[in-house]
Amino acid sequence: MRRPHIRPHVRPLYLRPRPRFHARRYVRKPAPSIPARLVGVCGCPVAGALTFSANGTRLAAGSGSGLSLTSPGEVRVWDISTGHLVYTVPYTSPICAIAYSPVGDTLAASTVQSHVTVWSATTGMPLRTLAPPHSAGGVCLAFAPSGEVLATGGGDLAGSQFPGEARLWNVHTGASMQTLAHPHRSVVSVQFAPDGAECLVATRGLGTDENGALDLWDKYLQAHRWTRPTTGLVGAALVDGGASVASLHSEAAGKSYVLHVRLWNGKSGVAQNSYRVPMGGWAISPNGKLLACTGDDRKSIAVRDARTGRFLHKLTCDSAPSSLTLAFSNDGRLLAGGAQDGTVLLWTLK
């Protein structure tokens, strides 16, 4: 039998096993926790209202137990850099809302008895007291960007005896400029757009009625832009300079409740997207980019992207996060928290 002829210049082919490539697993490290710093302690329990000065150098806290309309309250102002208590303003009833003027010259505070006082942000001396702006219930506050107009909203959530309304006031004279009545609802939040051209009013039904609405008006509360019916509304805020509106709703989830965050187009009111976070205290930064709320572990504060709900930072504290009152500084770099025992905490975001 003939053997096959093998050409001398042809090399034999050796098959080597293919090398195995093992995919390297990249595990994202959790973001480091940011601890809280103690700012001070209020003289009354429940630090339920917080606000930063326009330049972020001072923090004001309003306190008082809301269980009694006649229990004392107070406003304390601290220097953030030194922790020094600048001044204290006593009140005869608990504080439910507080706001610094964007220009930094005045500070407004409201009580559960619907009394609103405007005073010097520098000295703490009262400048004027507005006529009782609302018949009953807590009052929410918001300054126009110019600092010359103050919007208030109130009403009695417990029953239908005192209907809600939103009002505009001249800060310099104390005169009422406009009243917007809501006969069957209570106003839970008011806010001016960054350019001052529009005003957002959020309402909720009285008593057991949870039906409410989001309404966008012009800055005079005269020309109505749009309205959207809501249920279980607890608050609302403008996002991305007024391009969107974020509304927060109390929603049942089994045996507990969650906060349902819904985004709306700021010009048309058309629904955009939504997400859910644990129930508890919350705050949206003035620039509308950040949301602070109770963390998923119920033991910390989570800072999220306000539009998408994406987790950004974890903030730790000894107080129960779900019971904290929260507030951002204007630049969103500082977050303050008020506890039930009157403790005021501060976090510096990275």
Q: Give me the architecture of the 232-321 domain, per CATH.
A: Beta Barrel (2.40)
pTM of the model: 0.87
pLDDT at 84 (0 to 100): 96
Three-state DSSP at 191 gives strand
**CA distances to 71, 120, 186, 214, 331 from 105, in Å:** 29, 6, 30, 30, 19
pLDDT at 228 (0 to 100): 96
Instruction: Look at the block and give the residue holding tokens 């093998």.
Output: 6
CA–CA dist 282, 299 (Å, integer) = 14
Averaged pLDDT, 5-20: 56
Grade residue 158 by pLDDT with cuts at 50, 70 and 90.
Answer: low
Contact between 36 and 337 (Cβ < 8 Å): yes
pLDDT at 154 (0 to 100): 85
pLDDT digits (tens, 9 = 90+) for 189-214: 999 999 999 999 999 887 667 889 99
pLDDT digits (tens, 9 = 90+) for 96-130: 999 999 999 999 999 888 889 999 999 999 999 88
